[in-house]
Amino acid sequence: MAEAVRDLIGLRLPGAAASARPPRMATDKLSAMYGKFTAVKGVTLAFAPNQVHALIGPSGCGKSTFLRTLNRMHEITEGGWVTGRVLLDGEEIYGPRVSAMALRRRVGMVFQRPTVFPTMSIFGNVAAGLKVDRRTHRGTLEERVEQALRQAALWDEVKDRLHKSATALSGGQQQRLCIARALAPAPDVVLLDEPTSALDPIATQRIEELAYQLKRDYTIIIVTHNMQQAARISDTTSFFYMGTLVESGTTRQIFTNPADPQTEAYITGRFG
Amino acid sequence: MNRREVRRFKSRVMTAAVMACVVLAVLPLILILGTLIMRGASSLSLAFFTKMPVPAGESGGGVLNAIVGTLLMVGTASLIGVPLGIASGIYAAEYPGSRLTWVVRFVADVLNGTPSIVIGVFAWTWIVATQKHFSGFAGAAALAILMVPMVMRTTEEMIKLVPHSLREAALALGYPRWRTTLQVVLMTGLPGIVTGTLLAVARVAGETAPLLFTALGSQYLVTRLREPMSALPLTVFSYATGPFEEWHRYAWAAALVLILLVFVLNIVARVVTTRASVSHG
């Protein structure tokens, strides 16, 4: 078991020794910079499909920046650039022929705070990501919106007011709406950037349950500063510190038997 | 007096001083409105809005030509000025660091502070003098030049108020940048932009100086922009400076109509803003 997991964590490049489950996403010596400042230093990491992967570490450790390199959102930040490689299903996402827009439809993202579009209805928010994709046909729009809202466990709460403004929803509902919006275009990977940091405990619990359920259909990568959260919902955990990846492994191993003293210090609450 | 009484006394004195300032600030507006209504309201009738001016000495008649002229010129000016202003405002907000933005913003600020009569002279030089005739279009062009910097700065400010997180959310959904700007950022800032635009329209509707040597004024009902055209501010100007008592009353009434027009535009702007903010929760 442990070895199988280590195989999953270890980087798999295309053409490398065949593994039963090649990683959905992988990074290879990935560094992310803001101008001259290096926020992420040479991270090599792989994410197996249909699992929840947690990225933990103290504030400013580079975990959010790392997450944003996975859907090329880092490069829209002023001065943001990367070196190294990021692979989605073995395909280089920073390749010259790859469209960042098309990539972001395959790698969805949910932010710290709910970011519903205030001018759009609940339906319009979920449909927003579908409308930019010309492959979507109108006839399927309603079905896909409903499906996304069901997946985000929001359907029953909003089905009677789909065409009302989305800003009337509570914070937790808004965040689940953002998850539905990210799920609607049927991405392969969903990135969650501290999705519960602005929510109360009950709303947080619902999002956590959701992340756990969603792994059947998606690969989830979640940044969290909440170690209990990582322990509760993730299959693998990676600990970042000062821009480097200190340790990565199964969540159980990281939390019960960390190999690195820094990891141990962090998870036992001695700093952070 | 103990300290508490001293504090209360100071508070009362300062409150009174501030209230006096408020009264002083509002007083001119009340006086203007009061005078206008007192002197102008009696001449207002349906005929004033629907009839053409009559020769001096005759009674009756109205300022239909001026109302039509104002609507036509302000409408044309808006058609030119609003898209230009909104487009340059979007540019300035989207590329805040570019050199062109710095130049455009500087020009807009200078233009905003330029006396409107200077804009009128400019329009005279480049449109009236080259075409060798006064025209409603020259007036509209002068008003458009006045509108652009106002609309541009409002658009820029409103777009800057849209949270960056919304822009990121749209980009993360795979929106191209132009779509993010138009469908998410611009739409979110739209109520403010509409308000600013309506205020700019109201402001230029009352401009007299730029029209004096561009649209010139006309006694006839003109609907072609190539010809000299009347406008409410011009009517006020010519009637008020004329020798007849009847004209003076018409000037007051025309001024009242103009103020009402501006007033209505302001109210519409307010309604748009509050409606939008209410529906957004």
% of chain A residues with pLDDT over 70: 90
Q: Which residues contact A62 (CB under 8 A, 6 or more apart)?
A: A32, A39, A40, A41, A240, A242, A243, A244
CB contacts < 8 A (A, B): 66
Angstrom distance (rounded) from CA B185 to CA B263: 29
Q: Which residues contact B231 (CB under 8 A, 6 or more apart)?
A: B66, B69, B70, B73, B139, B211, B215, B217
**pLDDT tens digits, residue range A123-167?**
999 999 888 876 655 568 888 999 999 999 999 999 999 999 999
Residues B10 and B131 in one domain: no
DSSP state of B186: I
Q: How many CB atoms within 10 Å of residue B88? A: 23
Residue with token string 């992967």: A53
Residues B27 and B146 in one domain: no
Residues B18 and B79 in one domain: no
Mean pLDDT on B51-75 = 87
Sheet holding A236-241, edge to edge: A107-110, A189-193, A219-223, A52-56, A236-241, A244-250
HSE-CB at A162 with a 13 A cutoff on CA atoms is 15
Is residue B279 predicted with pLDDT exceeding 80? no
Q: What angle do the packed helices B187-205 and B64-94 form, to 10 degrees?
A: 140
Q: How far is CA B98 from the centre of its chain?
A: 29
Position A162 in a domain: yes
Q: What angle do the packed helices B232-240 and B245-279 form, to 10 degrees?
A: 150
What is the reported pLDDT for A15? 36
Residues of chain A contacting B169 with CB distance shorter than 8 Å: 111, 115, 117, 178
Give me the residues paired with residue A247 across strands. Answer: A239
**pLDDT tens digits, residue range B145-202?**
999 999 999 999 999 999 999 999 999 999 999 999 999 999 999 989 998 999 999 9
Residues of chain A contacting B272 with CB distance shorter than 8 Å: none
Angstrom distance (rounded) from CA B213 to CA B196: 27
**Measured between alpha carbons, how far is residue A52 from residues A4, A191, A193, A248 in Å?**
16, 10, 13, 13
Domain containing A94: what range? 2-267
Residues B19 and B79 in one domain: no
Which CATH number does the domain housing residue B96 bear? 1.10.3720.10
Q: Which residues contact A200 (CB under 8 A, 6 or more apart)?
A: A171, A172
Mean pLDDT on B51-62 = 81
Angstrom distance (rounded) from CA B218 to CA A7: 88
Is A203:A171 a contact under the CB 8 Å cutoff? yes
Residue with token string 């103290």: A58
Minimal CA separation from B156 to chain A, in Å: 19
Q: Which two tokens stand for residue B181?
A: 């700007």
Rounded to the nearest integer, the mean pLDDT of chain A is 88
How many domains does chain B contain in total?
Answer: 2
Residues B28 and B52 in one domain: no
Residues B16 and B133 in one domain: no
Q: What angle do CA B175, B189, B176 make, to 5 degrees?
A: 10
How many domains does chain A contain in total?
Answer: 1
**pLDDT tens digits, residue range B112-132?**
999 999 999 999 999 999 999
Residues B223 and B274 in one domain: yes
Angstrom distance (rounded) from CA A21 to CA A23: 6
Of A73, A108, A119, the CB nearest to B171: A73
Residues B20 and B55 in one domain: no
Amino acid at the residue A100: A
Q: Which residues contact B255 (CB under 8 A, 6 or more apart)?
A: B36, B40, B236, B240
Interface probe with B: pick from A115, A167, A188, A193, most Cβ of B within 10 Å = A115
CA-nearest residue of chain A to B188? A119
pLDDT interval class at A243 (50, 70, 90): very high
Write out the E strands in chain A. Answer: 25-34, 37-47, 52-56, 80-88, 91-92, 107-110, 189-193, 219-223, 236-241, 244-250
What is the reported pLDDT for B205? 92
Position A272 in a domain: no
What is the reported pLDDT for A16? 36
Angstrom distance (rounded) from CA B267 to CA B260: 10
Q: What are phi and psi of A44, to 5 degrees?
A: -120, 120
ipTM of the modeled complex: 0.87
Residues of chain A contacting B186 with CB distance shorter than 8 Å: none
Amino acid at the residue A201: P
Domain containing B111: what range? 48-279
Contact A185 B174 (CB under 8 A): yes
What is the reported pLDDT for A136? 57
Is B139:B231 a contact under the CB 8 Å cutoff? yes
Is residue B143 predicted with pLDDT exceeding 60? yes
Position A116 in a domain: yes
Which CATH number does the domain housing residue A244 bear? 3.40.50.300
Is B219:B194 a contact under the CB 8 Å cutoff? no
Residues B32 and B60 in one domain: no
Kind and range of the H or E element at A110? strand A107-110
Contact A108 B173 (CB under 8 A): yes
Q: Count the helices and strands in chain A (H runs, E runs).
A: 11, 10
Contact B281 A165 (CB under 8 A): yes
Mean pLDDT on A204-227 = 92
Amino acid at the residue B115: P
Angstrom distance (rounded) from CA B148 to CA B200: 9
**pLDDT tens digits, residue range A28-39?**
999 999 999 999
Is residue B144 predicted with pLDDT exceeding 50? yes
Contact B166 A111 (CB under 8 A): no
Q: What is the dihedral sign for C-alpha A242, A244, A246, A252?
A: positive
Contact A111 B169 (CB under 8 A): yes
Kind and range of the H or E element at B155? helix B136-161
Residue with token string 């309604």: B271
Contact A178 B169 (CB under 8 A): yes
Q: Which residues contact A228 (CB under 8 A, 6 or more apart)?
A: none
Q: Where are the alpha helices (DSSP H) in A46-199?
A: 63-69, 100-106, 122-131, 138-151, 155-158, 171-183
Position A46 in a domain: yes
Of A101, A111, A165, the CB nearest to B168: A111
Residues B115 and B220 in one domain: yes
Residues B11 and B97 in one domain: no
Q: What angle do the packed helices B245-279 and B187-205 form, to 10 degrees?
A: 170
Residues B65 and B26 in one domain: no
